[in-house]
Amino acid sequence: MLFEFITTSTMLGVLGASYYFKTNHSDDGEKILKIAENCGLRTKEEKIRLYRRNRNKEQHFTEYVFKIPLGLELEDFQNKRGKFKDGLNNRSERKIILKDFKKLKIDRSLPKQIESLLYNRISLSKEIEMEYDGMLKIRVYDRGLESRYDLTEDMITGRKKWHVPIGKGLNKEVVHDFEKAPHVLIGGATDMGKSNILNLITCVLLKNHPEDVKFTLIDLKGGLEFGPYERLKQVEGFASNAEEAKIALESIQSKMGKTFEFLRMNGFKDVKRAGIKERHFVIIDEAAELASDGETDKEVKTLKIECENIIKDIARRGRASGIRLLYCTQYPTTETVSSQVKRNLIARICFPVDTATASGVVLDEGGAEKIPLIQGRAIYKRNRKTELQTYYVDESLIESIIKPHINIRSRGEKKNAPHQHDKAEAGRSYITKFEEA
């Protein structure tokens, strides 16, 4: 027994040292060079060349910097991203977890226990990022994103201005600033995370700006998704069909017009310069239901065209007047997302879609059709694309945030008044009453 223990321990030391040396001196750079060669990423005269590698221990990735031949571009390598990722993950590796040795039982089965720990293997799940700044940079992360990150109340509080934490990227938290990018286009297949991201944004805004945020919620899936928010004091408009949507949108357009009048009369370019703290968020879930294209009923088509025109106006003039638009659809097509709306929605969040065409509608480029089919996995794009796992918002957290703000008025009363203004006589028409900072 003692002899077996000593010999097994010796074997453990040798294999452990071998494992340490191998894992700390392995080089994915050579693999990348070989994958590039096999994929034809070269010219007749030149292959890609590795210039340097840098290990980032804190963020658990190694960055490889390559010189690429003249005639090749970043897109050539991005198009082969899947082949690089699969090539770097085409084997398992031995994983020795030292804390597991504390659980060993000192009995006759000890050698087998140690052997099992020594030869424990796990599948690799490395992830890669690519960028180009004169040199091709490929970052290889030891592990990819988790399939779920929960949003907590502590993560919400203390955020700057109108910042909303969206989710986790490979090496950073992704935060959206609604002052720099006031409108957001959100697309993706059903049950992939669109409703969750709308809940996330609404809850963070409500928690951090209860006195300054207002909402108009247009839920064209029957009103069920936004139902818990309908009686909030901050909700000035609620709609569950096209007719109610038109009323709510007209009210927003009227409010926007009065704000512009106030700004013009007082010499301000926008609400921020005027010291106006209120921001009004118009959230449209399943905007495809308002698309007039393909509608055969003449009256309904006219109604939808009117809604579309108001949405275009909000997208165009909303920034200066403090109106923020979240335009969400599970059917991203050129008919459901018009070019006039899209060019003013500079921030995009795209969950998995089935085609590169659908990805192009949301992101102006492909990529979302290749996202893993994991709920909450998405691409966030403002200046550049970032793949991330959006934070998950539990129903109990939603309830705890909205409970203090429930209005005692009934649902029926709320519906009959989709938007209300405080009125002040000003010698002409009434204007919205603003609070100066």
More confident residue, 175 or 423: 175
In-domain check, residue 13: yes
Do 260 and 406 sit in the same domain of this protein?
yes
- Three-state DSSP class for residue 271: helix
Do 33 and 178 sit in the same domain of this protein?
no
Are 218 and 418 a contacting pair, CB within 8 Å? no
In-domain check, residue 146: no
In-domain check, residue 180: yes
Average of pLDDT values for 178-199? Answer: 95
Strands (E), 133-262: 136-141, 163-168, 173-177, 184-187, 213-219, 235-239
At 122 the pLDDT is 52
Average of pLDDT values for 73-83? Answer: 92
| 17 vs 26: CA distance, rounded Å | 14
Do 199 and 288 sit in the same domain of this protein?
yes
What range defines the domain where residue 32 resides?
2-141
Do 128 and 166 sit in the same domain of this protein?
no
| 64 vs 27: CA distance, rounded Å | 10
Do 137 and 79 sit in the same domain of this protein?
yes
Domain's final residue, options 88, 108, 141: 141
- Looking at the predicted structure, is the pLDDT value of residue 416 above 90? no
Domain's final residue, options 120, 141, 162: 141
Do 199 and 271 sit in the same domain of this protein?
yes
**Tell me, what CATH number does 216's domain have?**
3.40.50.300
Number of domains in the chain: 2
At 224 the pLDDT is 79
Do 241 and 362 sit in the same domain of this protein?
yes
Strands ordered across the beta sheet of 61-67: 49-56, 61-67, 136-141, 127-132
| 358 vs 297: CA distance, rounded Å | 27
- Across the chain, mean pLDDT equals 85
At 99 the pLDDT is 64
Do 175 and 277 sit in the same domain of this protein?
yes
- Looking at the predicted structure, is the pLDDT value of residue 13 above 70? no
At 149 the pLDDT is 96
Do 246 and 107 sit in the same domain of this protein?
no
Provide the whole-model pTM. 0.78
**Token pair of 96, please?**
């020795």
Average of pLDDT values for 210-238? Answer: 91
In-domain check, residue 165: yes
Do 165 and 283 sit in the same domain of this protein?
yes
| 248 vs 254: CA distance, rounded Å | 10
At 20 the pLDDT is 43
